[in-house]
Each structure stands twice: as structure tokens, then as C-alpha cells.
Amino acid sequence: MAIYNRRRPLFFSAPIALMAGLLAFGPAQADLANTVRVVLQKGRHYNPTDLFLRRGDTIVLVNGDDGVIHHAFIEADRFAFDAGDQEPGKQATLTLKEPGDFVIECGIHPKMKLTLHIQ
């Protein structure tokens, strides 16, 4: 005669329920994570020229021009940023904290513009 332990099914079903919960809610948490976007400064242009981002996301501006210095900045009422002079190969990091539309310009090359749309 076999003796069955009624707790055994609970012992095996608890890890399965935990895994199902992690699978169900894991991707939603990943969508909420902040992202890092790399923007290349090359040929006296930003690449890309438009970015759609969320508050908390980070931009890394990389000077990919040989022998050309860039000076990225944002001048707005609610938000200001100044990377200073960026030698070739150098990078500047900017974490976005304010929602709205902002333009990153180059203080040396006035036609260089990167538009940021931050939610």
C-alpha cells in the first residue's frame, strides 16, 4: 500500500508558479529600464539627428571626427548641458531628467543639431 504525502504537489507547484510569474512580469520590468543611446559626431553632423527618449535615459556623444573638435551644448529654460571641448575620440555623457523637446547644438559648428524628444 502506497502512502501519499499531500504536501508534495504543493512543493512542486510553488517553483512552477514562481517561474510563471517571472516570465509574465519580467519583460514589463525590462521595458521600464533606462536605455543608453550612442550618438556619433562625424562629418560635422550628429548621427542620428532625432531621438525619442524617456526621462532617465542616457546619451553618450562620441566625437568620431579625426582632427576636429566639437562642443556640444543645450541651452534651454528648464535644462542646460555643456560638454565643453571634445577632442577627437572623446565622449560626453548626458542623462535626461526633464521632459520636452531640446536641441543639442555644437558651439563650433552651428549647423550641427540633434533634436531630443523626451517623454
* pLDDT at position 8: 53
Q: Which of 3-7, 58-62, 79-83, 91-95 has the lowest mean pLDDT?
A: 3-7
* pLDDT at position 116: 97
Distance CA 41, CA 106 (A): 10
* pLDDT at position 5: 55
What pTM, to 2 d.p., does this model score?
0.71
The count of structural domains within the chain is 1
Say how many C-beta atoms besides its own lie within 10 A of residue 30's C-beta.
8
Residue 8 maps to a domain = no
Q: Tell me what the mean pLDDT of segment 54-78 comes to.
A: 96
- Grid cell, residue 55, equals 526621462
* pLDDT at position 30: 45
Residue 5 maps to a domain = no
Beta strands in the chain (DSSP E): 36-42, 45-47, 50-53, 58-63, 72-75, 80-82, 91-95, 100-106, 113-118
Q: Across 10-14, 16-20, 61-65, which has the greatest mean pLDDT? A: 61-65
Residue 21 maps to a domain = no
Distance CA 51, CA 117 (A): 6
* pLDDT at position 3: 58
CA angle 39, 79, 40 (to 5 degrees): 10
- Assign residue 87 the CATH number of its domain: 2.60.40.420
Range of the domain at 45: 36-118
